[in-house]
């Protein structure tokens, strides 16, 4: 649970990829710019606009190229111009909404996204709903965010949306609804991410709600964790989960052994140059858990 | 009795009739955009193989018009005793209303997403053959009810993947950025085939690292630039693909929609190993003792908390193969036509995705996007921007078993033991270079592709150019335990200097260039040129390839000597040769050439020249008679600045896709003190009518 709260901002970034994905792919090229780097494409598009006039699509395409070069100000300027040029050009609208969301400018983000929620295309409607859910979540309107994602998922199942909805349901303290949603998502999509989240939610809800931690309460999640441990080459994340279950059941030494094994594996996988953030996060989590166990012991 | 139009079904007595029938069919095929017509059914794509595992495979094909699809297959050609009936074959076609989102009714057991943008009347069939024996060869044929559409011959067969973990040797082909549909793509493909034939060791499958359908990844571009080109291979080898940015113009990774997703059947539910990704945009599969991971570097979130990165971690946790190979489009390290220190997809793949792959034990990363061949040393942890070789090189040798020796790693998969990065974006699109990435060991600015062999504890790869010549070789050997060791001062490639320099004196710009003209070939662009030899008569044609072995070089305009206005100095020309041949390529998207209303050449020259457009002579200045070595009566002319010559009369020679402008420059006398040839090409397009910004 804490893990996901700590990663909420990253979740937002994940969610925004929906917009990016749609936006990037829905544009069409009009001139031959196939075989050069972004600088050449920008030059070509600028020349095209100078010679033949501008339109939302050209501005949008140039914005994407500016972004690929890390030029955020020109990226946003072209997006803004594209939306002004053609308010119905949804790729630019979605992308600009994403910009505003990142800047915590919720009013403008909502203004940009709201017209798309009524789009004829179901897919576009689903993407707009998911984006609106992110805006709602940023304003802690969990119920609205959950409702939007539920509608989006009815239109189209998506791993990311299932995960987001579970997160928002947890924020709204609807733990069992989150678990039910994840079970449903896993049954439909078989995604290992949904299984992991389901396990985390099952562990979290027992930790929060159970008055006494009976092994029976953890039976389902323990069987999943054990199976994953048996099948995995890299085991640390599952060892940490098992340690949390064991610790909740008062099996302090067994939990400690799991954490020590996890820490050893994570240290081996921690690059000197720049570790994978997940490895670093798991390592910190394991060390923190180990410390609390030692304190209890 | 099934009947199939194939060579073996034609009797000697009926040869004449068959010949006439063949001519008729070929003419129909030509008229119907290369469709193969059998009876009343036009086979418009395939059959081709997809999503192969040790026990199953998909056969995909398209027809123009509805058929009753059936697949027959068997272990021998004369006994196709297994059948996949129509009710088990997924049928997809365009939906009239909201084609991207409605489900179409399937004649079979389920519903399917409609095709995104196939030609009207197209029907696509996807047959899954199950219950196959691992590592076994099968022959197959596809039918419309009882009429054979393809197969029943020794070209239509497949071999299932070996049992997971098996150490049987295998070979695969890697090609990227090939989808031009031009002669370069064909030459690379041919170069690979000749190499394989020469070695008498067949491929087992191939990987395409993206940009297989320039320029926009439309359905028609997939047909012309991928399926029409590779069909002889696609019918018996599975192609696993990663989406490139050009496919991204029309296909959407997140939603799995578009011509790219129509063309390929990729794993979503770990059908060929690995973990379910629930997306065809990224997936994994096992082949023998190698685990392959495909990522979408183009249009999905690359952040560490993104769904793709989290799936990647989960997948890496589970795999227990001997080798780990990742492939995607955008290279983490390149200084070819793209720069991995400047472009955000490339930077993010390096900074955000490579730490996950390397901590998971990746051995080899295959990419494209940058139109060049680049291959790294054995590296680990090179995540900085800009890329540096300091502290990240584990072996600075060339990896060549016959040179510095193969790269060494411990048996199995271990974190951060080193990876070799290969950029194979040289499969067809015009190659170029802008520098040298510090981690690279080989940089080859030639068209080509990569062939990888996995033989037990050794993975070897060669880059084969379009002439079928091996231009790089490296191996990784996994044996025993190898301690990780960082090379303190690695031997690096020398820095690359762009071979361009400013002329001592800049010529005056041309007068008379039409208003709104835009360059098709820019001033000071790189050209192919030949001096000291005479090319064959077809050197001006689009399909002619200026080979280095024939003396062709590359240099930036202008060419010449003696008067200080040259970028590429031809000092060897004076007193020896009086003619230089130059060629350059420019391209139009399909139909864009029809928008050209004016065309012209700006050129600073001394003494004369002849211009050819797509093989047609379109301009002759100062050369009274003959061409090439037979040119006579050259009239003296001093280069005093750019002069403009209209080529409006030559617009009709322009064509979609590749165009070639060829110019032969002539000097009046061998002993002349100077020579200049410095051209660029401009065009004016129809006005769109939009307001100017």
pLDDT in tens, B565-602: 788 889 888 888 999 999 998 887 667 888 899 999 99
Q: Tell me how long chain B is.
A: 693
Q: What is the pLDDT of residue B509?
A: 72
Q: Using the beta-carbon criterion (under 8 Å), do B688 and A53 form an inter-chain contact?
A: yes
Q: Compare CB distances from A123 to B100, B279, B358 and report the shortest one's residue.
A: B100
- Residues of chain B in contact with residue A274, where contact means CB-CB under 8 angstroms, are 351, 355, 381, 383
Q: What is the pLDDT of residue B102?
A: 35
A52-92 pLDDT, tens digit per residue, is 889 998 999 899 888 888 888 899 999 999 999 999 888 89
CB-based contact, A12 to chain B, within 8 Å: no
> Could you report the predicted ipTM of this complex, rounded to two decimals?
0.85
The mean-pLDDT minimum among A48-52, A239-243, B98-102, B156-160 falls in B98-102
Q: Answer yes or no: is pLDDT of B508 > 80.
A: no
Say how far residue B598 (Cα) sits from the centre of its chain: 32
Over residues B317-339, the mean pLDDT reads 96
Over residues B92-119, the mean pLDDT reads 58
CB-based contact, A270 to chain B, within 8 Å: yes
Q: Within chain A, which residues score under 50 in pLDDT?
A: 1-34
CB neighbour list of residue B11: distance below 8 Å, 6 or more residues apart:
none
Q: What is the pLDDT of residue B6?
A: 37
Interface of B with A in 170-229 (CB under 8 A): 214-216
CB neighbour list of residue B642: distance below 8 Å, 6 or more residues apart:
B507, B508, B509, B510, B602, B603, B604, B678
Query: Cα separation of B489 and A98, whole Å?
Result: 44
Burial grade of B131 (CB within 10 A; 0-12, 13-18, 19 or more): exposed
Q: Compare CB distances from B518 to A47, A191, A275 and report the shortest one's residue.
A: A47
Task: Say whether the peptide bond before residue B215 is cis (omega within 30 degrees of 0).
Answer: yes
Beta strands B238-241 and B283-287 are: unpaired
Q: What is the pLDDT of residue B110?
A: 41
CB-based contact, A69 to chain B, within 8 Å: yes
Over residues B7-18, the mean pLDDT reads 38
Q: What is the pLDDT of residue A214?
A: 66
Query: Cα separation of B629 and B601, whole Å?
Result: 23
Q: Using the beta-carbon criterion (under 8 Å), do A36 and B337 form an inter-chain contact?
A: yes
> What is the percent of chain B where pLDDT is above 90?
71
Q: What is the pLDDT of residue B505?
A: 64
pTM higher than 0.90: no
Query: Cα separation of B225 and B244, whole Å?
Result: 14
Query: Cα separation of B502 and B507, whole Å?
Result: 11
Backbone torsions φ then ψ of B666, nearest 5 degrees: -120, 140
Q: Using the beta-carbon criterion (under 8 Å), do B307 and A31 form an inter-chain contact?
A: no
CB-based contact, B515 to chain A, within 8 Å: no
Burial grade of B16 (CB within 10 A; 0-12, 13-18, 19 or more): exposed
- Residues of chain B in contact with residue A272, where contact means CB-CB under 8 angstroms, are 381, 391
Residue B140: half-sphere exposure toward Cβ, Cα within 13 Å? 28
Q: How far is B54 from chain A (nearest CA, A)?
A: 20
Q: What is the pLDDT of residue A82?
A: 94
The torsion defined by the Cα of B145, B148, B149 and B155, in degrees rounded to 10, comes to: 140
Residue B443, token pair as written in the block: 């940089």
Q: What is the pLDDT of residue A212?
A: 57
Q: What is the three-class DSSP state of B294?
A: strand
- Residues of chain B in contact with residue A240, where contact means CB-CB under 8 angstroms, are none
Q: How far is B323 from chain A (nearest CA, A)?
A: 13
Strands (DSSP E) found in A153-250: none
B630: number of Cβ within 10 Å: 8
The mean-pLDDT minimum among A261-265, B276-280, B517-521, B541-545 falls in B541-545
Are the C-beta atoms of residues A54 and B343 closer than 8 Å to each other?
no
Q: Answer yes or no: is pLDDT of B262 > 50.
A: yes
Q: Compare CB distances from A121 to B101, B270, B345 and report the shortest one's residue.
A: B101
Query: Cα separation of B114 and B93, whole Å?
Result: 5
Query: Cα separation of B626 and B53, whole Å?
Result: 62
B3: number of Cβ within 10 Å: 13
User: What is the longest distance spanned by two Cα atoms in chain A?
Assistant: 76
Query: Cα separation of B545 and B263, whole Å?
Result: 30
Dihedral sign computed on CA atoms, order A187, B295, B112, A16: positive
Among residues B147, B154, B138, which one has the least CA distance to residue B39? Answer: B147
Query: Cα separation of B338 and B343, whole Å?
Result: 8
Backbone torsions φ then ψ of A232, nearest 5 degrees: -100, 145
Query: Cα separation of A260 and A258, whole Å?
Result: 6
Find which of A45, A269, A283 to mutate to test the B interface (most B CBs within 10 Å of its CB). A269
Query: Cα separation of A116 and A127, whole Å?
Result: 9
Q: Using the beta-carbon criterion (under 8 Å), do A21 and B251 form an inter-chain contact?
A: no
CB neighbour list of residue A284: distance below 8 Å, 6 or more residues apart:
none
Q: Compare CB distances from A51 to B279, B345, B516 and report the shortest one's residue.
A: B516
B192-210 pLDDT, tens digit per residue, is 999 999 999 999 999 999 9
Say how far residue B250 (Cα) sits from the centre of its chain: 18
Query: Cα separation of B647 and B14, whole Å?
Result: 54
Q: What is the pLDDT of residue B501?
A: 56
State the DSSP H helix or E strand holding residue B238, giving kind and residue range, or none if neither. strand B238-241
Q: Using the beta-carbon criterion (under 8 Å), do A69 and B342 form an inter-chain contact?
A: yes
Q: Answer yes or no: is pLDDT of B129 > 90.
A: yes
State the DSSP H helix or E strand holding residue A226, giving kind and residue range, or none if neither. helix A219-231
In angstroms, what is the C-alpha Rg of chain B? Answer: 27
Over residues B119-142, the mean pLDDT reads 96
Q: What is the pLDDT of residue B116?
A: 85
Query: Cα separation of A129 and A123, whole Å?
Result: 10
Give first-to-last CA distance, chain B, whole Å.
Answer: 68
Query: What residues does B125 pair with on adjacent strands?
Result: B61, B91
DSSP annotation string for B177-219: S-TT-SHHHHHHHHHHHHHHHHHT----EEEE-S--STTT--H
Say how far residue B407 (Cα) sits from the centre of its chain: 28
Q: What is the pLDDT of residue A5?
A: 39
Residue B144, token pair as written in the block: 């419309």
Q: What is the pLDDT of residue B498?
A: 64
Backbone torsions φ then ψ of B149, nearest 5 degrees: -95, -35
CB neighbour list of residue B59: distance below 8 Å, 6 or more residues apart:
B46, B47, B48, B49, B50, B71, B126, B127, B129, B140, B142
Query: Cα separation of A34 and B588, whole Å?
Result: 10
Find which of A34, A49, A82 to mutate to test the B interface (most B CBs within 10 Å of its CB). A34
Are the C-beta atoms of residues B114 and B94 closer than 8 Å to each other?
yes
Q: What is the three-class DSSP state of A112?
A: helix
Query: What residues does B345 pair with on adjacent strands?
Result: none
3-state SS, B588-640, equals ECCCHHHHEEEEEEEEEEECEEEEEECCEEEEEECEEECCHHHCEEECCCCCC
Residue of A nearest to B361 (CA): A269
CB-based contact, B413 to chain A, within 8 Å: yes
State the DSSP H helix or E strand holding residue A6, giving kind and residue range, or none if neither. helix A2-6
Q: What is the pLDDT of residue B16?
A: 41
Q: What is the pLDDT of residue A4?
A: 39
Q: Compare CB distances from A28 to B249, B313, B685 and report the shortest one's residue.
A: B249
Q: Using the beta-carbon criterion (under 8 Å), do B690 and A7 form an inter-chain contact?
A: no
Among residues B415, B281, B305, B302, which one has the least CA distance to residue A193? Answer: B305
- Residues of chain A in contact with residue B415, where contact means CB-CB under 8 angstroms, are 268-269, 271
Are the C-beta atoms of residues B300 and A17 closer than 8 Å to each other?
yes
CB-based contact, B345 to chain A, within 8 Å: yes
Strands (DSSP E) found in B53-146: 57-64, 69-74, 82-84, 89-93, 122-129, 137-144
Q: Compare CB distances from A22 to B254, B339, B356 and report the shortest one's residue.
A: B254
Query: Cα separation of A76 and A64, whole Å?
Result: 9
Give the residue with greater pLDDT, B409 vs B671.
Answer: B409
Q: What is the pLDDT of residue B688?
A: 55
Burial grade of B452 (CB within 10 A; 0-12, 13-18, 19 or more): buried
Dihedral sign computed on CA atoms, order A211, A214, A218, A219: negative
Q: Answer yes or no: is pLDDT of B32 > 70.
A: no
Q: Answer yes or no: is pLDDT of B481 > 90.
A: yes
């Amino acid at each position: 649970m804490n893990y996901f709260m700590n990663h909420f901002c990253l979740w937002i970034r994940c969610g925004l990829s929906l917009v990016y994905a749609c936006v990037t792919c829905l544009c069409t090229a009009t001139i031959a710019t196939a075989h050069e780097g972004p600088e050449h494409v920008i030059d070509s598009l600028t020349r095209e606009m100078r010679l033949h006039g501008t339109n939302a699509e050209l501005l949008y395409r140039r914005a994407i190229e500016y972004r690929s070069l890390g030029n955020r100000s020109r990226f946003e300027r072209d997006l803004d111009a594209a939306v002004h040029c053609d308010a119905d050009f949804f790729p630019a609208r979605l992308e600009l909404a994403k910009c505003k969301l990142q800047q915590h400018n919720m009013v403008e983000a909502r203004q940009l996204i709201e017209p798309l929620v009524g789009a004829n295309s179901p897919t576009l409607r689903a993407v707009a709903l998911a984006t609106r859910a992110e805006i709602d979540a940023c304003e802690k309107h969990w119920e609205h965010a959950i409702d939007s994602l539920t509608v989006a998922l009815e239109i189209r199942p998506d791993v990311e949306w299932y995960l987001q909805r579970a997160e928002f349901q947890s924020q709204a303290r609807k733990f069992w609804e989150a678990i039910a949603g994840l079970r449903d998502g896993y049954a439909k999509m078989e995604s290992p991410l949904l299984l992991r989240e389901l396990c985390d939610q099952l562990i979290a809800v027992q930790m929060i709600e159970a008055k006494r931690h009976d092994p029976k309460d953890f039976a389902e999640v323990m069987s999943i964790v054990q199976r994953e441990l048996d099948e995995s080459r890299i085991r640390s994340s599952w060892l940490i989960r098992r340690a949390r279950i064991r610790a909740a059941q008062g099996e302090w030494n067994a939990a400690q052994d799991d954490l020590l094994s996890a820490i050893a594996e994570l240290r081996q996988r921690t690059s000197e140059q720049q570790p994978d953030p997940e490895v670093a996060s798991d390592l910190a989590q394991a060390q923190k858990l180990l410390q609390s166990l030692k304190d209890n012991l | 009795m099934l009947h199939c139009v194939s060579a073996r079904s034609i009797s000697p007595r009926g040869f004449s009739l068959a010949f006439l029938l063949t001519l008729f069919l070929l003419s129909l095929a030509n008229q119907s955009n290369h469709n193969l017509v059998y009876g009343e059914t036009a086979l418009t794509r395939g059959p081709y193989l997809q999503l192969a595992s040790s026990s199953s495979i998909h056969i995909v094909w398209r027809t123009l018009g509805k058929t009753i699809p059936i697949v027959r297959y068997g272990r021998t050609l004369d006994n196709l005793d297994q059948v996949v009936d129509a009710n088990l074959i997924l049928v997809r076609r365009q939906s009239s209303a909201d084609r991207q989102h409605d489900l179409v009714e399937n004649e079979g057991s389920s519903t399917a997403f409609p095709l995104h943008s196939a030609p009207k009347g197209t029907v696509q069939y996807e047959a899954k053959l199950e219950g196959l024996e691992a590592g076994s060869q099968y022959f197959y044929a596809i039918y419309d009810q009882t009429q054979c559409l393809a197969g029943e011959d020794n070209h239509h067969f497949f071999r299932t993947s070996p049992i997971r973990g098996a150490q049987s040797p295998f070979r695969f082909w890697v090609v990227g950025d090939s989808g031009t549909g031009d002669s370069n793509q064909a030459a690379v493909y041919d170069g690979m085939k000749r190499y394989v034939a020469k070695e008498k060791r067949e491929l087992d499958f191939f990987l395409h690292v993206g940009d297989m359908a320039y320029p926009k990844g439309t359905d028609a571009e997939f047909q012309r630039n991928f399926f029409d080109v590779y069909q002889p291979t696609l019918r018996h080898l599975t192609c696993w693909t990663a989406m490139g940015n050009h496919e991204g113009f029309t296909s959407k990774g997140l939603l799995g929609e578009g011509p790219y997703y129509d063309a390929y059947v990729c794993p979503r539910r770990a059908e060929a190993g690995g973990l379910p990704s629930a997306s065809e945009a990224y997936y994994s599969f096992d082949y023998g003792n190698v685990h392959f991971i495909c990522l979408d570097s183009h249009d999905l979130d690359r952040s560490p908390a993104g769904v793709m990165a989290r799936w990647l971690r989960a997948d890496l946790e589970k795999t227990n193969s001997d080798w780990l190979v990742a492939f995607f489009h955008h290279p983490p390290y390149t200084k070819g036509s793209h720069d991995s220190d400047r472009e955000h997809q490339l930077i993010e793949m390096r900074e955000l995705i490579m730490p996950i792959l390397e901590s998971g034990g990746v051995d080899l990363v295959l990419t494209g996007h940058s139109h060049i061949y680049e291959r790294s040393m054995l590296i680990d942890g090179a995540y900085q921007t800009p890329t540096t070789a300091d502290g990240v090189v584990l072996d600075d040798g060339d990896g060549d078993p016959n040179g510095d020796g193969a790269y060494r790693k411990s048996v199995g998969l271990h974190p951060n033991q080193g990876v070799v990065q290969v950029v194979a974006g040289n499969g067809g699109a015009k190659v170029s270079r802008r520098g040298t990435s510090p981690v690279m060991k080989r940089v080859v600015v030639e068209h080509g592709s990569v062939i990888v062999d996995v033989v037990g504890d050794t993975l070897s790869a060669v880059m084969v150019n379009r002439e079928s010549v091996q231009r790089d070789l490296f191996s990784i050997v996994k044996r025993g335990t190898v301690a990780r060791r960082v090379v303190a001062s690695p031997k690096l490639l020398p820095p690359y200097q762009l071979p361009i320099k400013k002329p001592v004196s800049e010529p005056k710009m041309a007068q008379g260039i039409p208003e709104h003209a835009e360059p098709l070939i820019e001033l000071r662009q790189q050209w192919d040129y030949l001096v000291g030899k005479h090319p064959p008569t077809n050197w001006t044609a689009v399909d002619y390839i200026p080979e280095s072995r024939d003396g062709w070089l590359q240099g930036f305009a202008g060419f010449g000597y003696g008067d200080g206005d040259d970028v590429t100095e031809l000092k060897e020309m004076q007193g020896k040769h009086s003619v230089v041949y130059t060629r350059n390529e420019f391209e139009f998207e399909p139909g864009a050439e029809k928008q050209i209303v004016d065309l012209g050449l700006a050129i600073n020259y001394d003494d004369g020249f002849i211009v050819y457009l797509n093989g047609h002579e379109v301009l002759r200045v100062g050369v009274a008679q003959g061409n090439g070595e037979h040119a006579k009566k050259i009239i003296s002319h001093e280069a005093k600045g750019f002069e403009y010559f209209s080529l409006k009369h030559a617009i009709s020679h322009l064509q979609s896709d590749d165009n070639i402008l060829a110019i032969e420059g002539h000097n009046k006398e061998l002993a002349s003190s100077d020579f200049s040839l410095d051209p660029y090409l401009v065009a004016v397009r129809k006005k769109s009518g939009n307001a100017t910004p």
